[in-house]
Chains A and B, each alone.
Chain A
């Protein structure tokens, strides 16, 4: 068989896998909004919110409950990832990688800081103060941050076409959620701390992707990801929760009440969707690059709308349909890129 033809075929297959992983990420990320929304109405989190709100006010209560929810989210994600690594037989590699602090694990722990306390908590704060719509709009900006950081920092190549695709997806994302946001703005109650949370989400996830790319260069994605979430668990369970408990918040009282069947089920669902959304996200980066991986991953906004409609029965408005179409156009532009020219994703 022709060598050149085989080569082109092989390369196409590789990029196809990269996009496939990124697409799985988008679906799972979209699904995550279901347990992420439901969990707020379940005990002990509902009761905890009530207790803290009574003494410290609604705003403080939201942030503190968001911390506990994020901590449990991180815990169930690590559980899901341990199963994943166990099935793939990667514990040995994990041990070898964690020992390489300077070249490898350093980057994953740094990524944990930007991904956890900045992006995920920021999203929850934005959801709580302004609403889910705004949280998602703000987070949709993260590929822009990620692409800029990745290209400035380590010279990742981004083609014009990829830029165009990313632009379409972002405009689409804004349209999907923009309608809801306008209503919130019209009602006059502008909650600025929520907007700060939105910025935290966009910058946190964008920077996390770029930093993760740095460590992933020379590590296994499955292993790197697990280390990143172990790092996040340390931040929450060893640093944040004890500090908040010392500050007088009833963290442990409610953390111990979490073992209710329904609450556990929802948390495990959150862990599985979020954990595997990250697995697929990280897997796509080495194959198609941070910018493209994040661009396709961004279709989560579109999937989230569909899943929320299916599970909660919220009928989508015309802005959502238009935005969804724009997101699909953007991802098609990226999918159909002539992959022959991007043999290597980096500059020389």
Chain B
């Protein structure tokens, strides 16, 4: 999908699958799709994910410690999936074809 919709719409879309997505996967994919380089963009996309999660639209289904430094060494990695509420909120925004 082309990068022409707000980033949070795309994040919800990416998390709309049964097995969920790791936050570093989402961040990397968004950075690639929206051509956003650098650590600042990375953190800002991750903050978008956090906001969606604390808004109750994404839920954290699995976490592991980032031992190898895939994202940030020593910090937590989270796997997210969309919630019922997230699907309802996303329906009129970005999951119209679902």
Contacts and interface: CB of A to CB of B under 8 A. Distances in A.
Contacts of A253: none
A219 interface: yes
B5 A3 contact: no
A218 B89 contact: yes
**Which bracket fits the contact residues of A?**
20 to 34
Given A10-B75, A97-B6, A218-B9, 9 more contacts: A3-B65, A14-B50, A93-B6, A100-B6, A217-B52, A218-B6, A220-B48, A346-B85, A347-B85
Interface in B3-31: 4-9, 12
* 5 closest A-B pairs by CB: A346-B56, A103-B93, A286-B51, A344-B56, A97-B6
B6 A286 contact: no
A96 B54 contact: no
Interface in A131-155: none
Of listed B56, B57, B76, B94, residue having the most chain A CB within 10 A: B56
B12 A218 contact: yes
Contacts of B93: 100, 102-104, 218
A14 B54 contact: yes
B70 to A, nearest CB: 15
Given A88-B44, A103-B94, A218-B9, A96 B74 contact: no
Of listed A97, A216, A217, A223, residue having the most chain B CB within 10 A: A217
A287 interface: yes
Contacts of A97: 6
Interface string A17-35: 0000000000000000000
A341 interface: no
A103 B63 CA distance: 31
Interface in A318-348: 344-348
A345 B59 CA distance: 12
B92 A102 contact: yes
A155 B93 CA distance: 20
Contacts of A104: 6, 93
